[in-house]
Structure 1
Amino acid sequence: MSGQGGGDYRDSAVRPYVLTQGRARPTRNTIGLDTLLVVADPQKPLPISASRQERALLRMCRRLLSLAEAAAHLDLPLSVATILASDLVDSGHLTARSRIPEVARPSHETLKEVLDGLRRLR
Structure 2
Amino acid sequence: MTNRPEHRTPSAVRPYVITLGRSQTGTAPLDWETLVMATDAAFPASLQPEHHRILTFCQGLLSVAEVAAHLGQPPPVVQVLLSDLIAWGLIVIRPPIPPAEHHDVTMLRKVLHGLESRL
TM over 0.5: yes
1:75 Cα deviation from its structure 2 partner: 0.4
Decide whether aligned partners of structure 1 residues 57 and 121 sit closer, same or farther in structure 2, where only a CA change above 3 A counts: farther
Q: Which runs of 5+ in 1 are unaligned?
A: none
Q: Which has the higher helix share?
A: 1
After alignment, is 104-113 or 17-26 more displaced?
104-113
TM-score where L is the length of structure 2: 0.78
Structure 2: distance between partners of 1:55 and 1:82:
15
Deviations 1:89-120 (A, max 9, x none): 11110011111123x46537356325424424
TM-score where L is the length of structure 1: 0.76
Structure 2: distance between partners of 1:59 and 1:110:
44
Structure with the greater alpha carbon radius of gyration: 2
Number of matched pairs: 112
Q: Give identity over the alignment, percent.
A: 31
1:53 aligns with 2:50: yes
Candidates 109, 116, 119, aligned match of 2:105: 109
Q: Which has the higher contact order (CA 8 A, sep 6+)?
A: 1
Q: Which runs of 5+ in 2 are unaligned?
A: 1-6
Decide whether aligned partners of structure 1 residues 118 and 18 sit closer, same or farther in structure 2, where only a CA change above 3 A counts: farther
